[in-house]
Amino acid sequence: MTSRSHFPLRSIVLSIALACGMAHAQEALRPEVGKPLQAAQELIKAGKFKEALVKVRDADAVSGKNANETLMVERMRIAAASGAGDVDTAAKGFEAVNASGKLSAADKQRMIESIAGSYYRAKDYAKAYQWYQRYFKEGGTNAANRTLLVQTQYLTGDFAGVEKDVMASIQATEKAGGTPSEDQINLLMNAAIKQNDIGGETFALERLVTYYPKKEYWVTLMNRLQRKPTFSDRLSLDAYRLSLATGGMTAANDFSEMAQLSLQAGYPYEAKQVVDKGFAAGALGTGAEAERHKRLRDLVTKRLAEYQKTALDDEKQAAEQKDGNDLITIGMNVVFSGDKARGVKLMQEAIAKDSLKRPEDAKLHLGIAQLIAGDNAKAQATLKTVQGTDGTADLARLWSLYARRNKVS
């Protein structure tokens, strides 16, 4: 986890303690208190903080101190202890100074922030969390400290609390039209993973691919989807399509399998595009399987040629059928051929027949085809209508997320 760097506790608290000390210098200090404090101040300026703490203790040991003398001792204790890295002692000194009622609201917030930061750097996350909470209770508004508050909460092991708070924050940011930070979303995902909360992890991943559509986020999200017990193997080709579109397909076996699935489903134009991309990327045509890849390319070329010979007759026959099962496939193939508008029209006619074997699959494919055709608005409307618990609705949602940030070609 990363965060903005704090001003060192030494610099902030030292300046406050010394400045406030000088402001009250007009109130007389007895020599037995004032001399060791003066010596402590000089040692602090010289960077000798542990030695300064010894002098502060000498002043504190004087009996019968009045309120002002006690206050001066505690101010100097804060400065010396913070410089020495003794955060607990600095915190105790702060409590004493704060109890005096002579600390301004601004100085109080700065000192609390610094103590919280020092505990964070010391990896005492439980105390850091308490002090960051106190910072906001005292009216602090620094957004970076809000991030650190949640980070310390995470580091204390309160993953449920982190997930609840961060998810609420992300939703509020989205509602206001803003963009949640990548670090914030990743923090949510990590908290969800710690609790084995698949729903929370998916929520975070979907936000990451929406706002920060990196290939690795898409790969993780697609793997998560395909591992769902309810995800149907029937949708493997559709999953490959999204992986290819998002740049997550790099392995030779994936290109080969997708091309073969495309042929089996009746999409030789798509199969050719997949093979061509695989060869262009260097995934196919090299290594020990190079000859097999070339045979696959030859098979795809042959099947495409065969398809083209009967394409018009097949389309005519499909259009005359009562159901739209063949026509939906032909229409999508026409889209892959490059005749996008006509292909989308054929698919819409197929769905209008209202007698499809798998209507949700058909709507999913129509939405993808509309994206390929460049009509994002209609695609979004179509994809929103896709239902089903076997993965169709999940894929439709992910295609919608992809379409918000990308143009499909």
pTM given for the model:
0.76
**Residue 379 pLDDT level (bands cut at 50, 70, 90):** very high
> For residues 27 and 34, what is the distance between their CA atoms, to the nearest angstrom?
11
Both 262 and 332 in one domain: the answer is yes
Q: Which two tokens stand for residue 256?
A: 């080969």
Q: Which two tokens stand for residue 312?
A: 């018009």
Both 166 and 66 in one domain: the answer is no
The angle, 0 to 180 degrees and rounded to 10, between the axes of the packed helices 159-175 and 198-211 is 40
Rounded to a whole number of angstroms, the distance between the first and last alpha carbons of the chain is 37
Q: Is residue 340 part of a domain?
A: yes
**Phi, psi of 156, rounded to the nearest 5 degrees:** -85, -10
Both 168 and 53 in one domain: the answer is no
Q: Is residue 136 part of a domain?
A: no
Q: Is residue 236 part of a domain?
A: yes
Q: Could you list the residue range(s) of the whole structural domain that residue 118 is in?
A: 9-122
DSSP 8-class letter at 228: S
Q: Is residue 141 part of a domain?
A: no
pLDDT digits (tens, 9 = 90+) for 87-128: 999 899 889 888 888 888 988 898 898 889 889 988 999 999
In one letter, which amino acid is 375?
A: D
> For residues 15 and 27, what is the distance between their CA atoms, to the nearest angstrom?
20
Both 174 and 99 in one domain: the answer is no
**Confidence at residue 7, expressed as pLDDT on a 0 to 100 scale:** 45
> For residues 348 and 350, what is the distance between their CA atoms, to the nearest angstrom?
5
Both 360 and 248 in one domain: the answer is yes
Both 305 and 348 in one domain: the answer is yes
* Mean pLDDT, residues 117-142 taken together: 92
CB 239 within 8 A of CB 258: no
Q: 10 Å Cβ neighbour count for 199?
A: 8
The total domain count for the chain is 3
